[in-house]
Amino acid sequence: MHTLSNSKLRPRPITNPTLLCAVVIRSTMILPPRTSVTTYDKSSTTPNVGFVSSTQDKLPSSLFGFYNETGVSRVRQEFNLLGKGIKVGIIDTGIDYTHPALGGCYGPGCRVAFGHDFVGDSYTGENDAAPDNDPIDTCNGHGTHVAGIVGANDLDKNFTGIAPEVTFGAYRIFGCSGSSADDIIMKAMEKAYLDGMDVINMSLGDNGWPGSPSSMLADKLSLLGMAVCAAAGNEGEKGIFEVGAPSLGRHAISIASVDNSMILAHSIQLGDSHYGYTTTSGKSFDIEDSYIVPISSTFLPDNDGCNPIDMDLTGKVALIARGGCIFAIKVEHAQKAGAVGVLIYNNNFGFLTPSAQSPNVTIPCGGLSQEDGKSIFNNAMDQQPKKKYTFLKNDMGFTTPTSGLISSFSSWGLGPDLSVKPDITAPGGLIYSTYPMKLGGYATLSGTSMASPFVAGIVALLHESRGSGRSFKSDELRTRLINNAHPVSPLDMDVPESVARQGGGLVDIYQAIKSTTSLAPEHLRLNDDPHGSPDHQYTFTITNKDRMEAEYSISHLASASVEGFEQNAVSHIVTPLSKPRLIPSHEADAKVTIPVPVVKLRPNDSANVTVQIVPPPVNPAFPTPSIYSGYMVIKKEGVATETLYLPYAGLTSSLSSLPVLLMNESMPFVFGDQIQRASNAPVLITFQLAQASELVMVTVVDANNATKSYGWIPGGSSSFVGRSDLKNPTDVYTLPWYGTVVTVRELAVSDLGSSSSFLYGDKAFRPYAFAASIGDTEAMKKAVPTGDALPPGAYRLQVMALRAFGDEHVLDHYDRWTSPVIIVD
């Protein structure tokens, strides 16, 4: 349940049926890294993410293979770029500056030379901050991990970040757990700018809009010369239009994630074969050797281990498939059958780190990839006599089956206004980096939280390539990164991933530095059909910044189109798909015409190129709106060849035609039909949003004339409201009404809204907002502004949600629902 606020909201599920409304003081939650703390199965929505690794003398260089693919290794070798003299601000949970890889000290002359703690350890986003001058991170780890990706320097361990000689600013805006407020985040952004940071990293955010406060400040600071790198979000399984703020800022760099090529994992050995497994504790099994026994005779059975196990597992490790029930149940059943440990293999691609937290679980639990699970399963079926596996104490690097693919958790774009977001992609899945010394020193985490600092480090190298910080204008820098990236493809497809998933593609620092060509704009925003170019013509400019004449060829590369909505067969309501589907047919591609496919330019000359991009026709096989996208490919011919990619994206039909307010037999609804002021008990209005809305209002109207409005209910006006998870009936917005109104909309806005930004990582770190129980009338009253009492009589409540591209002053641009009659005594 949620209260409405004057800023962006993210719906949160209710875990207690007695809860009425979530109340957060304009909080912004950090995007928690996807850590080993939890993973997900059919009973959970939190994806697997990693583990805290054990310390080793030397790390395998293959663990950082993406340094080659993104050009980092090459610019080190050819240009000796290490980030020296560049200042990078980390707006996060602080930095454990005692870590040797991060300099070991704080203050002038140290690597962490700037910073401030705006909140204190105990701050959760729901209580008062206790700021101080020491931004150390000892209890969370997220900010320390982020800082290490940017610029750790541990030569003894063979681990360096992207820019190992940068100077850090640590701006702590989160406590040991919880969320943070918009005003605190914005203070940190401003201080980072005043401290002279050349780039800031913001691995945080929430469902927002380009007009959200943090997005607007990110734009302002970017235009003043400080680059803003921001994580796109970890809502990859919530469908399209889920990129978060502040990365939605027009001038901010929004960063999506691909999975790393290697993972450091615990190891099991059988003969010459090694199998990697991960644990939430970061510790390997305290077992020297053991049989590993499948509890089922078939591979990947349904509900494996969800019922009591009728076999003797005494002294053995049980092999169980993921799915059907929570991990703790599987482990408890194996434990009761005598198992000394449990290995759960994935039913999807990728590694798995199962969290089996339960007071009843006393044996270790680890996770395997599906591939390794199948190999161990086949060994058990084939080998006679059975052989024991050795559980090694040293971790090893293992190839990840999802290497180079867009991470499953990475949020889909576009922006809610069809702006082209995310901008760029970087490694964020299964990333090894620093962690607070008290928490083990190093960790492997996943999330767009990890992809964003990868790009922040690359921005530092770009600045250094010109000799000083803020040497690039932020828009020039952002354009270089987008247009010199390389699009990546989805599994088993010969076309690039949607631009709505990857932006320009995988970042390439070498090409961004070496390129002598610039494009403007950095992408083509096609919008939907009613709001795009009437003749479908779009113009971009090519500029030759080389000292020689250059010839450019222009071609088209279509990306996979994306089916993002589904239509209910009974109600015919169009709602978002939680898992968008790539459309394999080229009939869903745009029709692109390039009248002038070759352009010759003298040094420092520019040319405008106009292309026609016609949306694909509505296909009966895909009747709901879909995102089509692709790239204009600009190739510089000759000796010094280079290839640039200009992304474009649009929606096949009108976004404003899609319903925003869910209206069916169960939504919206009002709990109660009478307000007796003497009892101090409210009526509750509850609704869900099928799409995000720039403005949602709840007004009081006459019982017999809905056009006669008395004003807004207190708390009944909110901007930038995120959509609900329609598959979760408890993921709703709720407001109490006490029979009062306010007649000025600005006074109807509550400062106590559920608008939280969070760390883009493991959702186990994401706190739930304080919730008042239905009986706690004082808490509910504090959640909304006061108002003037209406005279006794009959009234109705009206919920109004503004559709996309709507004019807030035009009544027909709203979805409206009017309640049954409510009597006020």
> Dihedral, CA atoms, 25, 27, 32, 38, nearest 10 degrees?
30
- CA 185 to CA 14: how far, in whole Å? 26
Q: In what order do the strands lie in the sheet containing 591-593?
A: 517-520, 537-544, 606-614, 591-593
Tokens describing residue 198: 């050349």
Say if CB 305 and CB 320 are below 8 A apart: yes
142 counts as catalytic: yes
- Among the listed residues 53, 177, 433, 449, the single catalytic one is 449
DSSP secondary structure code for residue 803 in this structure: P
Say if CB 333 and CB 326 are below 8 A apart: no
> Dihedral, CA atoms, 176, 179, 181, 182, nearest 10 degrees?
120
Please name the residue ranges forming H helices in 60-177: 66-69, 72-79, 142-151
DSSP secondary structure code for residue 509 in this structure: H
- Among the listed residues 142, 145, 463, 536, the single catalytic one is 142
463 counts as catalytic: no
- CA 652 to CA 527: how far, in whole Å? 9
Angle 479-485-489 from CA coordinates, rounded to 5°:
135
Say if CB 178 and CB 29 are below 8 A apart: yes
92 counts as catalytic: yes
Residue 805: CA atoms inside 13 Å, Cβ hemisphere, count? 14
Say if CB 582 and CB 561 are below 8 A apart: yes
CB atoms within 10 A of CB 743: 12
Give the H/E segment covering residue 799: strand 793-802
Question: Which residues fall within 8 angstroms of residue 472, CB to CB, at 6 or more apart?
Answer: 227, 462, 463, 466, 480
- Among the listed residues 5, 36, 41, 92, the single catalytic one is 92
Beta bridge partners of 556: 632
Residue type, 146: V
Say if CB 1 and CB 15 are below 8 A apart: no
Give the H/E segment covering residue 268: strand 262-270
Spacing of C-alpha 87 from chain mean position: 25
Catalytic residue numbers, as ranges: 92, 142, 449
